[in-house]
Structure 1
């Protein structure tokens, strides 16, 4: 597991580990296990609150310390030490699999992660609960100024202070927007956010979501570069005065260039760009390419290298908490949020910081440029729109705001009227939703296809996985039969489909605490069993067809694949979530520019967004995603502008296992964007739907088999 963040300067240990008293080793592991299961359960429910982040970081810190202590303890026998390390590895596995579900949690495992005071306090509480004497930390030296009592350390780069002092003419312009004249509110008593969201959820039948755009312009493009027509249209809209955009073009259509040149057209400087850590360096490069006369700076760690005089400031979500103070006072006239679906959970810390910065910019700047960029704005349900719309200033927690409210009033309709849904949807679109598909605007990008490669899991691993799946099914059958036997009324002929779904939901809900196999553990085991086979196939592709992008969800699957490539003499790059931006960019550059690097081994979470890997036309998906959107994002690292060959994504499917059933479900469930944005009539689904439907199918098949056997015996 990646090493958790460093402790803050000014605090050091005052007692060695071997002076702790009252330790009960089993209790330490038990406390860690209980806490990490709580965190895992919250992450599965999508409820990664600040308190969950604190518990996650506390587990990571205590786990690291306990592992180091066990290894160094000469009083333990080899057998006892091995047993303790094995149990700690189990906690580490849960911690790592939980981290890949949320980029904010993953960031807490990075070397530059800041340890919060709340996490330290919780570590001490956990130590006391396990009978461990907490380590006393000395206070910071007197010459170090105290920091505000906030959950996270706040930093102000020295160059930013220098900028504020160097020239009075550089002081931020905080002129507030002109007050809006009050209007009679015909819709004041109506609940409107629900109907607005529903208008997108129920859209379809050829109703795409894209505002009217003007004729494209290349006026702001640097010499030697040229925009595609669809890119030039958005820049022209910004030049014409439009200032809020949900740029939801399909992945691979050049949203970064559009955002940078829209800022140039709107003169929205200084410009704040908030991005995932994995693309931070790439954004600075793209700024140098598309707006070379605008200095760009990247915020790393505490910001020691920040150029306070830059026009473009790029910061990643993971360190936003410690910089939100000075960023809010910097005087930005524009803000871009890349991969904006990262803020869909409004209770998360990163979402709250993004929304707070947006509100501050809107309150202090006359018509700022606000852009939310995402090829997959809807991941789980239509509610994912809320945070993005709020960032853009279209709504608040309870109601539409400003221009959107005015537009709804101007329709003359209420939610009770028949035509309100279509009119309301158009009002939102006109505020700045821009959605174009590759098939419509980039016909020169070659086609893509998904090809499934079934593999047989032989040997002990295959037998173990099939046995585990059978145990999972038997457990659900027992729950079904117990519930059926306890029923006193309402007998249903045959299989009770409603009861089947209730049992499946219960299994999914209890997956983090159930003893034995569960759907998540099963998929991970299958991924490990497929790793070598998937890597073998990728190596064959690399030898015969050129560069290959290899995606996996779990670190151990990536490790196994890389061992296979090394054994076969295939050079590879490794793109992971625990790398620094500079290290990650070196790996990307090696894959893109070095003809001898044939494979990019990528984390589905860390490399599934923002990277340009179009030098490869073959993508191997060693593990399945839970959503069509995540799968599409990964494939579109290669299927994008600049690709000259048809792209094939090879999904490695473990035949006759849960893996094959998940693949079928993903294929039958279209992404939300197909209905809400592209005018499709296809069914809406989420990752939870796929997990639930997989369990429903397993249980239903088992009950049918059991019923068939009983009928045969009766005959």
Structure 2
């Protein structure tokens, strides 16, 4: 490959690898001839590899040096093959050159060990961008290599990227089509043809930036181009009158501004607000404003029931349906179809043909790995929706408080889902914005302008502290979860059996002569009181206490999953549970995710407990405090966090308040959000309601509130009365 030295050469002093300072003694019989005369490319590669190595020592390698890393590996392999087959070299000269190339290879390996994301670039079949082609050409010319006309011309056309198919061949036999979907297809077997997207297509004009590799610089622009400016597009002011939210609900200012941007016609968003700022409500109302129905929503399992509740709350005129398992209970005629990542693979065949006009991906960092099956399914569905949506312009929203987890490249899958890039290049809308900058990656100011161009495509990021005036200083957000496993079914069965036992007692008491002196409501409370006393004195059988404990155990994994997501998004989180086994299960889940925790329990010494509290408040490596509701509910300061997860419900409103106030206290600079994990369709829902009623009683008695008074009986008693009422209704 290397010809006679005709170009500019790098010297061999100080910056070459593996013995490049010594003179070659066996490569030539002529005196004064350097060993680099036979291999002028090697010192160039040695200098370049040292530059990349220095960058890796400072942290993650940026896009430009990643390309250099790949080109060094390519040229090193080519040079090694040339040296091995050359007939002009003596054995000693060949051994010397191979030794120097081995030195370069060693530095490449050490650099890749520091930044493991570089390893894929060492693969022989790794794709080579036009920027890499230019580096290769320029370095070879610097080494004096004579290149053919084909090698001098750089291929600017990016490789064709095969769009992900909706149904991979390996999943064809796994597909299910629920009965309600077949009914919808029979009711409307054809989607109305829409030729507007086809008519709008025209040959793209040749652009000034077409010859540039742009994805690397675009990603790099988010590392270098900030200039102290937050990554959030300019949003219009809120309307003077809130016309979006239903009666009884009110949008906050930051939410109204987002909805107004949708009303103005924007259709793709990376909504990266911190947790607690109402991303779900904003998305639900955005779909309503854009009339993006039917709407597909892809979510983690832990929040899919909450999504259905939010649709009902914010758009009561719309119906939501949740896909569980094979979709036997699915309502295919609903406006919003909610599916969790884990069952998405079974429903690709019909999801891609239902005619969705919008798609939301919640916790969008779940698709950051382009090679994962989950990402391929989501991207395939998004492409199918773009093909069938009117004007080819569906409403697409990626929701995540943590769009970046490992490095800037995590943007890639999200941008592709939103239609901002197409594999290896920006799509036409983003290219237009980049062209408007009148800059190229070689110009000063490009990175800042490019970052602004991408942000204006639809990145919206607000933090709690930025919108503190919108938020109450403390609020409780309920997160209902579906217990659809075997333990969940056993809990519902136990509740039903307990209700039937109470009903039997009620009927017996009602048939007695003494019943004439009491109303049915009084009889129900007498039955519940009797059951409660029996439950306190027995350790066998199912009762209200054992059921609540089982519910806590069933929720533990889901609560831990959500807490881990919060920790990745906003930093420190306090996790409260009532039972030790729930705390143990959560700590195991956090450890498996590499999250560092502290534990505050009732059996700890005062010094040990204070050490745990100090570690949580002061050590940036500690993400989660796992706390006992009873042991950590008082006398503990955990204000380093502003998010609390209540994995289990307390029997008293005061205990819940005390737990939240470990975070909501003097010195707390951010609004506090307490996330209550509630098992849907179980007694857990009623207990949460009763706790809230007790809070209303305290507000009326102490704070002058007009909250309604409720009976002062214990929450356990009220919960049993609720089960009995359900049993009576079910018997009629």
Q: TM-score interval w.r.t. the shorter chain? A: 0.3 to 0.5
Structure having the higher Rg: 2
